[in-house]
Structure 1
Amino acid sequence: MQKYELDTPCIVVDQDKLKANIARVQRLADEAGIALRPHAKTHKTPQIARMQLKAGAVGITVAKLGEAEAMADGGIGPILIAYPIVGKTKLERLMRLAARAEVTVAVDSLEAAAGISDAAVNAGIVMPVWIEVDPGYGRAGVQPGEALLRLGRELRTLAGIRVTGVLVFAGQSYDEDSDEGRILVAEREAATALASAEALRGLGFPIESVSAGSTPVSRFASAMKGATEMRPGTYVFGDLTQVKAKAMNVGECALTVLVTVVSRPAPDRAVIDAGTKVFTSDGEDSPIGTGRGYVIGHPGIEVAWFNEEHGVLRLPPEERELKIGDKLEIVPVHCCAVVNMLDVMHMVQGDEVKDVLPIAGRGRVK
């Protein structure tokens, strides 16, 4: 089958670009002498995680327990859950998962760590945990310095966990407008992680892993002095957010959404069969002036706005021959959000559909 025969809207992934992206970032990590533990929240697909592991990744990262279960079901591991696990139901699931897969969990509070410890003691295991430290992004993570030391002292009393690493996420890298700024974020992120690791080692913890990094700073892995690994995710597919961050160019983006023109209500307007229920409303407009997406082969078209089921395109004079039934490929603003909206992705080589992969982690947000 040819890709333009696919029913729309659907996700299309260019296999050659996907493989090139995986190889490129693995090479960046190798050249910097640090490990790569990519974040699978982007693709949510065990088959792609397996490609990353085969290329040299030391394991994968996930955000939610449901994603970890989907990856373990697909035979993928080791798995880092970079998210606090809280609540009886989730702790019971975590113990079942730990019985069949190699799992590490991030914590940033005594409450979360104590829950994991109690569940692990009851299950007769010791759970490896990493402490998440906030490097200035202002999301999750214990504050470095005295707050971290206080948490470390509290965790020493918990019999069901073993603290073996620290992780940080400097999401502020997305706000930088220059490579100089991104390099500075990478340096400071790694410095925070390293200082935190040394502080925890001073408390007697056997800190082995110092984990940092995201796709916007992956080009600067060599600047992450003291980090033992990085955890980028979006690099596998790419999107307009990463184009804005100069992590890749539009031609390297492997994931597109194939859509059909379903209405031509005005000469300068076309409507496609995908809105926020496919593209989502996440992220900012295209950095190259094309609105909520980039139409491949039609740089003059603006993806102007979305409703739930409709996408509205503004057409310059040279694009007004566009007809109802025409199909277009659009690079989204944020590919991770798009992947979570659909059940499968179509792997293509050139225009030929090679495979259809279920998105095993789609909707696994618990």
Structure 2
Amino acid sequence: MNKYELDTPCIIVDRTKLLANINRYQAIADEAGITLRPHVKTHKTPQIARLQVEAGAVGVTVAKLGEAEVMADGGINNIVIAYPIVGQSKLERLVQLAKRVKLTVACDSYEVASAISEAALKAGMVINIWIEIDPGYGRVGVQPGESLERLAGALAPLQGIVVTGVLEFAGHSYDAQTDEERKSIAVHEAAVASSSADTLRGCGFPIETVSGGSTPVSRFASLMQGVTEIRPGTYVFGDLTQVQAGALEIEQCALSVLATVISRPAPDRAVIDGGTKVFTMDGEDSVLGTGRGYVIGHPEINVSWFNEEHGVLVLPPSEQGLKVGDKLEIIPVHCCAVVNMLDELNIVQDDLVQEIWPIAARGKVK
């Protein structure tokens, strides 16, 4: 089937670009002498996770326990949950998952760690813990220095867990405007992570892994002294946010949304069958001047605005021949959010649909 025969709106993934992105970031990690643990919240698809592991990834990172369960079901056996686990029902699921795979959980507080400790002891097991450090982003993460030392002292008596690593996420790298700024953030992130690992080692913890690296800074992995692995996610598909961050070129973006023109209410306006329930409103308008997306092959079209079910395109005179029924491929602002909105990935090569992969971890936010 030709991709333009697909019912819309739907997600298209270019297999050649997907594999090139996977291999490019694996090479970045390999050249830096560190491991790659991709964050699968971007694709939520075991088939892609397996491609990443086959290319050399040590395992995967997930955001939520539900994603971890899907990846385990899909054959991935080395998983880091980079998110605090809170609540009795989640702890029960965590213990069951830890019986199936090599599992590590991030936390930044005594409350989370002690609850995991109690659950692990009841189950007669030991669960790996990584302490999340805040490198300046201001989201979760214990502050380095005295706060980390106090947390280490509180965790030391706990049984049923073993602290074997630290991890960070420098999300402020997305606000950087130049590669020099991104390099500076990468170096600072690595320094904070490495020194925090040393702090924990000094408190008697057997720290083996120092984990960092978002997609915008992971390409500077060779500068991240002391880091032993990186956890980029969005690199696998790319989107307009990553193009803005310099992580890849627009031509390297592997994911697009195929949409159909369903109305031509004015010469300079067309409406497509995808709105916020497909593209979401996450992220900022494209720096390319194309609005809320980039129409492949039609760079002068502006993806102007969305409401729930409609996407409004502003057309220059050269594009006003667009007709109802025409189909357009649009690269979104943020691919991770789009993937969580739809059920399937249509895997395409040379414009032909080769496979359809269910987005098995879609909606797995618990």
* 2:83 counterpart of 1:83: yes
**Residue type of the alignment partner of 2:175:** D
Determine what percentage of the aligned residue pairs are the same residue.
Answer: 70
Does residue 162 (structure 1) correspond to residue 168 (structure 2)? The answer is no
TM-score by length of structure 1 reads: 1.00
151-160 vs 233-242, which moves further: 151-160
Mapping 1:304-323, distance limit 5 Å: 304-323=304-323
Alignment of 1:1-366 (within 5 A): 1-366=1-366
Q: Shift of residue 328 of structure 1?
A: 0.2
Amino acid at match of 1:105: V
> What code does the residue aligned with 1:104 have?
T
Q: Which amino acid aligns with 1:210?
A: V
Matches of 1:317 and 1:175, distance apart in 2: 35
The CA deviation at 1:102 is 1.3
C-alpha distance in 2 between matches for 1:147 and 1:361:
35
How far did residue 51 of structure 1 move?
Answer: 0.3
Letter in 2 for 1:138: G
CA distance in 2 between partners of 1:217 and 1:153 (Å): 32
Q: Count matched residues.
A: 366
The superposition leaves residues 3-31 of structure 1 with CA deviations (integer Å, 9 ceiling, x where unpaired) of 00000000000000000000000001111
Measure the CA separation in 2 of the matches of 1:11 and 1:350: 16
Could you report, residue by residue, the CA deviation over 1:297-348 in whole angstroms, capped at 9, with x for unpaired residues? 0000000000000000000000000000000000000000000000111000
Distance in 2 (alpha carbons) for counterparts of 1:30 and 1:160? 34
Q: What SS class does the counterpart of residue 354 from structure 1 fall into?
A: strand
Alpha-carbon distance in structure 1 between the residues aligned to 2:218 and 2:229: 11
Q: State the alpha-carbon separation in 1 of the partners of residues 11 and 322 from structure 2.
A: 22
Could you tell me how far 1:262 is from its partner in structure 2? 0.1
The whole-number CA distance in structure 1 between the counterparts of 2:145 and 2:178 is 29
CA distance in 2, matches of 1:210, 1:173: 18
Amino acid at match of 1:147: S
Structure 1 portions without partners, runs of 5+: none
Q: CA deviation at 1:350?
A: 1.4
CA distance in 1 between counterparts of 2:274 and 2:77 reads: 35
- Per the alignment, in what secondary structure is the counterpart of residue 225 of structure 1? coil
Structure 1 SS opposite 2:149: helix
Letter in 2 for 1:244: Q
Deviates most, 99-108 or 330-339: 99-108
Consecutive unaligned residues in structure 2, runs of 5 or more: none
CA distance in 2, matches of 1:249, 1:311: 24
1:100, distance to aligned residue in structure 2 (A): 1.1
The CA RMSD over aligned residues, in Å, is 0.4
Structure 1 Cα separation of the partners of residues 101 and 35 of structure 2: 20
Whole-Å Cα distance in 2 between the matches of residues 123 and 322 of structure 1?
62
Measured in 1, the distance between the counterparts of 2:349 and 2:330 equals 17
CA shift digits 1:172-191 (9 cap, x unpaired): 10000001000000000000
Aligned to 1:22, what secondary structure does the other structure show? Answer: helix
1:237-292 Cα shifts (integer Å, max 9, x gaps)? 00000000010011000000000000000000000000000000000000100000
Report the CA distance between 1:2 and its aligned residue.
0.7
Give, in angstroms, the shift of residue 77 of structure 1. Answer: 2.2
Per the TM alignment, residue 99 of structure 1 is displaced from its structure 2 partner at its CA by 1.1
Secondary structure in 2 matching 1:31? helix
